[in-house]
């Protein structure tokens, strides 16, 4: 039975668009069809941009306090659907229902924090340089925002883009992943109840729809979360219109375990950061870099935690680890683990499918611990995006930092140490956009979220820094007559 049946949301109305349909399936039961969707035609994308342009002209004139009131009602309509949204996440993405509920709650928490940032004001008084002048910097809404979102966080990532876009006075057109579109469609239902038509529009489809959207004339800003390869293509497409860009890309995140009083607590946090969302999160810890004397204890502790995971359909009680979201992702994880073994890595647990036939029984890959990783191995350098932890060891801090920074990514990193000198060095030298000391890699709702190197381009999302993408900056000089 099909649970969801949607076309595109254009100008406040659901439209069928292209004649072809695409379907989604439960990754825990790949033959269970979940949704049927009609993708956007090129004409619909043009119509969406026209609608957004008109809606944004009126929306930008609405006083900030009134915009916040309307957006708060919109967020409330989403909250009223939180259980329905959580179920949609589990059905199409695969994560356990409790984890999906937490994702929905965090998305609303971040929206509330962003509301507070916007309420604090957008004009900064500057020092005067000449007699009779007053200097200030003002910010204005950027315009029409195009957003492309991935399949791993069906509500959190879209809301990270929708909430600031609207609160800062923009209109937004969003293309969710073709593997998990139902959640954004439910957000669209909430938008139709609370927002002016055209402010939030949804176009469905695969990469061709996304390319048409980000390359459309009239789009002033492009925000994308996904792979480095796709991010580079979007970067090139956006250049045609000189659109502002905010790209959140991949990660190969590491934790350095140097010295700890409570190793059990440390490993609980590492395993949680690694196995949440079945490892399919850009901030997942996938590399453990441990001081050699601690390596045997760390290996044994992580193996115990991996083997304690309960895999299954996220609707079932007690499940802690869902399937990988797509057959292609399952194949990639298996292929990368096999490549690591061929290069000399040792599988301590897992390393293969948890079921006999993934195409019928679900895309379940066993939680995996690999040790003996050296920096030249593919599993040490490339993003796996699955429930896989690779363990490396070191004898000197210089070696640890060389391993930590020796990848093309720079999203997030973590250090466990009680040595303040080591902590200071980590904060000064770790080549990551987000640094965590003595805890895992879970970000707070109000803190800037983003990366450096191949992990990101442009302003960070979440927090005050989001204004640098969702608004334009204007130097203002006031002189009395």
- Report, as residue numbers or ranges, the catalytic residues: 248, 282
**Structural contact between residues 173 and 52, judged by C-beta atoms closer than 8 angstroms:** yes
The distance from CA 404 to its chain's CA centroid, rounded to whole angstroms, is 22
Backbone angles phi, psi at 28, to 5 degrees: -80, -20
| One-character DSSP codes across 24-79 | EEETTEEEEEEEEE-PPPHHHHHHHHHHHHHHHHHHTTS-HHHHHHHHHHHHHHHH
Angle between helices 82-92 and 97-119 (to 10 degrees): 120
Within 13 Å, how many C-alpha atoms sit on residue 337's CB side? 27
Eight-class DSSP state of 292 = G
CA distances from 223 to 40, 272, 276 (A): 19, 28, 24
Residue 465 contacts by C-beta under 8 Å, 6 or more apart in sequence?
448, 450, 459
**Structural contact between residues 289 and 407, judged by C-beta atoms closer than 8 angstroms:** no
d(CA 218, CA 241): 8
d(CA 330, CA 336): 10
d(CA 95, CA 322): 5
Residue 345 contacts by C-beta under 8 Å, 6 or more apart in sequence?
370, 371, 372, 373, 377, 379, 390
Q: Select from 425, 376, 420, 424 the least CA-distant residue to 398.
A: 425
Burial state string for 284-310 with b = 16 or more CB within 10 A and e = fewer than 16 = bbbbbbbbeebbeebbebbbebbeebe
d(CA 402, CA 53): 48
The distance from CA 451 to its chain's CA centroid, rounded to whole angstroms, is 12
d(CA 148, CA 169): 19
């Amino acid at each position: 039975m099909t649970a969801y049946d949607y076309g595109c949301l254009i100008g406040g109305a659901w439209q069928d668009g292209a004649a072809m349909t695409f379907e989604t399936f439960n990754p825990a039961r790949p033959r269970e069809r979940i949704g049927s969707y009609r993708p956007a035609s090129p004409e619909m994308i043009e119509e969406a941009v026209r609608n957004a342009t008109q809606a944004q002209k009126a929306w930008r004139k609405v006083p900030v306090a009134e915009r916040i009131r309307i957006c708060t009602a919109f967020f409330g309509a989403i909250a009223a659907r939180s259980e329905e949204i959580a179920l949609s996440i589990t059905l199409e993405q695969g994560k356990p229902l409790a984890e999906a509920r937490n994702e929905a709650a965090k998305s609303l928490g971040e929206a509330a924090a962003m509301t507070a940032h916007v309420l604090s004001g957008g004009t900064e008084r500057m020092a005067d340089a000449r007699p009779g002048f007053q200097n200030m910097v003002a910010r204005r809404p950027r315009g029409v925002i195009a957003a492309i979102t991935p399949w791993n966080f069906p509500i959190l990532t879209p809301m990270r883009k929708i909430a600031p876009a609207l609160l800062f006075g923009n209109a937004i057109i969003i293309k969710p992943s073709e593997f998990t579109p139902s959640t954004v469609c439910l957000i669209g239902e909430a938008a139709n109840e609370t927002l002016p038509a055209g402010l939030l529009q949804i176009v469905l489809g695969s990469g061709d729809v996304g390319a048409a959207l980000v390359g459309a004339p009239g789009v002033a800003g492009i925000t994308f979360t996904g792979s480095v390869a796709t991010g580079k293509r979007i970067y090139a497409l956006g250049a045609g219109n000189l659109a502002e860009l905010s790209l959140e890309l991949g990660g190969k995140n590491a934790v350095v375990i140097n010295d700890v009083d409570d190793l059990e607590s440390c490993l609980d946090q590492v395993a949680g950061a690694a196995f949440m969302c079945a490892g399919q999160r850009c901030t997942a810890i996938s590399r453990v870099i441990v001081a050699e004397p601690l390596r045997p204890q760390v290996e044994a502790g992580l193996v115990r935690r991996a083997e304690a995971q309960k895999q299954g359909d996220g609707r079932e009680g007690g499940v802690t680890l869902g399937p990988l979201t797509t057959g292609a992702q399952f194949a990639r994880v298996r292929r990368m683990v096999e490549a690591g073994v061929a290069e000399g890595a040792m599988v301590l647990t897992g390393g293969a499918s948890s079921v006999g036939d993934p195409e019928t029984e679900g895309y379940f890959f066993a939680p995996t611990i690999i040790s003996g990783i050296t920096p030249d191995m593919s599993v040490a350098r490339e993003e796996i995006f699955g429930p896989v932890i690779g363990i490396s060891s070191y004898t000197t801090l210089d070696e640890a930092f060389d391993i930590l920074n020796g990848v093309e990514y720079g999203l997030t990193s973590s250090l466990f140490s009680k040595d303040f000198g080591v902590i200071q060095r980590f904060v000064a030298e770790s080549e990551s956009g987000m640094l965590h000391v003595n805890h895992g890699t879970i970000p707070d709702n109000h803190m800037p979220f983003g990366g450096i190197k191949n992990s990101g381009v442009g302003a960070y999302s979440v927090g005050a820094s989001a204004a640098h993408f969702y608004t334009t900056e204007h130097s203002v000089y006031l002189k009395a007559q």
